[in-house]
Amino acid sequence: MSGSANFAALKDLPALRDQPLKEREPLFVKKLQLCSIIFAFDDPKVDLRGKDIKRQTLLELVDYVNTPAGQKIFTESITKDLMTCISANVCRALPPATDDFDPEEDEPVLEPAWPHLQVAYEFFLRFIVSSEVNAKVAKKHVNQEFCLQLVELFDSEDPRERDYLKTILHRIYGKFMSHRSFIRKAISNVFYRFVYETERHNGIGELLEILGSIINGFAIPLKKEHLQFLVRALIPLHKPKCVSLYHQQLSYCIIQYVEKDPETAIAILNGFFRCWPWSCSSKQVLFLNELEEILELLGADQLGQISKTLFTNLARCLDSDHFQVVERALFLWNNEHLVNSGCLSRLNAKMVLPIIYGPLYKNSSGHWNATVEGLAQNVLKMYMEYDLALYDKCSTDYFKEEEEGKRKKGEVKQKWNTVVSMAQTNR
């Protein structure tokens, strides 16, 4: 419905505070109904008075429900009109994303209707957090369909809107226990579409922030559905090219799982290395940051199951052409917990050193970056002091492999020379 013909009706309504208590509820409902009128914001010069009157009315509703008397107005009888008003203002189709939009580079497109939208969100938030609102009664209107619409709105380009949505959806999750499983599934579906179809979504970071708090509240032992959520929805989020936009929030969720159940580290690390961004050095540094946090929580049982995969990939990082990746990998040995009692300790030297000796030695003997060279020398020295016999064996094996590699290269070169010579002879 257009707002141009109706703003006068809003203007003529008296203020809620000026009315006797018994007359406030019907007036409140009337204001809700008129605030359900939607104005077009395509042209900022059209309907200026009507837009301003609606905004002032919404602000009045927010101001009123912030009072003790206003809280009492959140009765079952007004809930339908309240949700109709909120749905009319908030639930809408988002404009299609432009093909050339780059979230890492471009400024977001701000919502033109924000003067109304912001106050509508603020008002709805007051409703959700109110102790006067009974979840069992309100869930008939704050239903699964409405929750799904909120989840879909997280794709809004406007960060202000996503911030409100994050707070509101989290509050709904906390208050409406019967909706919790549905909300998690709705978020999962957003992640699936993002990872496997579009790789475009503006609200992955905000959804992960909500999940960080949700996962924190999971009971131990973790339920099967919560473990499936980790494997199917969270770990694959490491794949998209734009992972750096939400990596901090994703890493927090992953660490929450490992803290609650160290056994999850095995599935996490296996999936983690499958998604490792070998072609992007800056993302590898991010992943190494996350890896360090996971390794701090890794127990001996889990390490035994994942050691070969872990140290093989770590050796590959140490052998990287990009010095920042090598440097960040070497910084793992500056972590006292990992070195004293974790996966890099003396106890695990026989698992670690044979796999990483080669790239460590190469970095320690003439790397162009002095920091990398010094760090590699320190790590080698540490393992030499741990177990000299092991160190000598690794050194001997390494040079044998190098010599064998040179011999095989020489044989291949000789064979090609023979082929070339025969070809020239037969011309």
DSSP line for 194-220 = IIIII---S-HHHHHHHHHHHHHT--S
Tokens of 315: 């050796």
Q: Where are the domains of the chain?
A: 1-92+111-142, 299-427
Task: Determine phi and psi for 209, rounding to 5 degrees.
Answer: -60, -45
Q: Find the distance separating the first CA and the last CA of the chain, reported in whole Å.
A: 87
The answer, as to whether pTM is greater than 0.85, is yes
Residue by residue, pLDDT tens for the chain (427 residues) are 444 555 666 667 888 888 888 889 999 999 999 999 888 887 777 778 888 889 999 999 999 999 998 999 999 999 999 999 999 999 998 988 776 666 666 788 889 999 999 999 999 999 999 999 999 999 999 999 999 999 999 999 999 999 999 999 999 999 999 999 999 999 999 999 999 999 999 999 999 999 999 999 999 999 999 999 999 999 999 999 999 999 999 999 999 999 999 999 999 999 999 999 999 999 999 999 999 999 999 999 999 999 999 999 999 999 999 999 999 999 999 999 999 999 999 999 999 999 999 999 999 998 899 999 999 999 999 999 999 999 999 999 999 988 777 778 888 888 888 888 888 887 7
Contact residues for 388 (Cβ-Cβ < 8 A; gap 6+) = none
Q: Rounded to an integer, what distance in angstroms lies between the CA atom of residue 13 and that of residue 342?
A: 69
H/E stretch holding 191: helix 180-193
Q: Rounded to an integer, what distance in angstroms lies between the CA atom of residue 111 and that of residue 76?
A: 32
Inter-axis angle of helices 159-175 and 180-193, nearest 10: 140
